[in-house]
Amino acid sequence: MRWVWVSGLLLLGGRVLAGPNPLDGRPPGWPSPGSDRETTGWAVDSGGLDGTSVHLPGLPAVSPSPGTPTCEADPSGGSPSRGLTLSEAVALALRRNGDLQARRWEVEAARGRARQMTALPNPEATTELFPVQERILGLQQPLRWPAQAQALRRVGELDTEGAVAAYRLRQRELVRDVRLQFIEALALRDRVAVLAESLRMAREVQATAEARLRQGLGSLEEVTRAAIEVGRVRTQCEVLRGTLTIRLSELRRLVGADGDVDVAGDLAAVALGLGPSFSGDPAEAVEAHPWVVQSRVQAAFWEAQGALERSYRRPVIALGPAVGFFEGGRVSPGIVVSVTLPVLDRRRGGLREAAAQVEAARTATAYRRRELTLRLESLTSRYGDLRRSLEAFRRDVLDPAEGLLHRTREAYLQGRVPFVTYVDAFRTLVEVRLEALGLLEELARTAVEVRFITEGPDGASP
């Protein structure tokens, strides 16, 4: 009986390599449980975010997966399709995402509004008729008070700053969404690979049961149980492949790709490469976050809007040339000065709105600052807990489950345990492998949330 091992499949999500291996399913060079060669801790070769390999200390490195495995065919067969690494997916999304491009145009629109607000009002042509023999024609240019011009300029600047802050926030949210979608697709790909390998192992179990039945050592019940296990694993694998297709479609939408996309890389490399490497002041990171910046800009904007509303309560002064036509054909040029007093509209509603909006923005700033601080603290702590849990899970659960399958198979072949015990050991190993991938996925997702708070909008610089 020949067992097939998928190298790096349990925790690393690496390239699928098929070949003959020991009965417990371990690849050549993998230490046995409890041996001196068994080590703990993780090591990343070089970064890991762009598809580099990751491995445990003392073990062979694992290359990135070249494509999505299938449930029926050998995952290593055929010509693999090139998938996007995480860094490539983020870069593509920043260039081609439609929503982010729309936000860029909103910034340009805000700059246009700011330019228009500082422009002078249009001149006004006037005519005044007295008796039939007298007429005055004039051209008046409304003048702004210095405080009003300053308030208009400030409102335009802050409107632009708000649009830029909204753009940067969307940019950082897009990077987070792409990373989360990529990690979920990567974890689904590895789960499909685990189930594909488990399906081959289940068929080996079925073949063993059928051979023992032909030799008169087994029973029809054993063959039936083995066939049920094959069908169960195959169904799970196909369901996960359908879910993976949906996730890849969502990733394609986020990055703005024209054709189908696939993911490439190691799940462990992504989880550890995205891990919290932040060593600065958390308060500074929170203060520079677009959420907080956007709220501060909103508060300043409404303060400037209140100053503008107060400037509207002053009289409007207009100055310009005028020509008078009088009786007897006399023409007299001159200058006309007009003063408009705001008698009825005292802008009280606008002033009350601006004051309320300022308080709302200040409250939102304090709330978001506190929310981000608490989230950063809890997420950093959770990442460390997940790292320790992953180490303990590999040592206390995954390795014993592999050893259990090896011992149970030997006992079954020697007739010391029933067939159902052998199947239970196999099923336990499959479930443990899937749980390990779940821990890695949660570790990676936590790291992404930490980076959403601490790093720049594109992972490097604005």
Residue 136 included in any domain: no
d(CA 450, CA 217): 58
Residue 346 included in any domain: no
Residues in the chain: 462
Domain that holds residue 89: 3-120+147-310+353-454
The number of distinct structural domains making up the chain is: 1
- Closest by alpha carbon to 121, among 412, 340, 298, 426? 340
- Closest by alpha carbon to 5, among 200, 147, 182, 224? 200
pLDDT band at 279 (very low <50, low <70, confident <90, very high): low
Q: What is the mean pLDDT of the chain?
A: 76
pLDDT band at 79 (very low <50, low <70, confident <90, very high): very low
CATH number for the domain harbouring residue 111:
1.20.1600.10
Residue 201 included in any domain: yes
pLDDT of residue 146: 82
At 70 the three-state DSSP class reads: coil
Lowest mean pLDDT among 87-91, 263-267, 322-326: 322-326
- Model pTM score: 0.72
pLDDT band at 17 (very low <50, low <70, confident <90, very high): very low
CB 315 within 8 A of CB 339: yes
Residue 331 included in any domain: no
CB 292 within 8 A of CB 284: no
Residue 325 included in any domain: no
Residue 343 included in any domain: no
Q: φ and ψ at 95, to 5 degrees? A: -90, -35
Which residues, in sequence order, are CB contacts of 53 under 8 Å at separation 6+?
A: 14, 45, 61, 62, 63, 64, 266, 269
pLDDT tens string 388-430: 999 999 999 989 998 998 898 888 888 888 877 888 888 888 8
CB 20 within 8 A of CB 211: no
Residue 326 included in any domain: no
CB 62 within 8 A of CB 265: no
Residue 369 included in any domain: yes
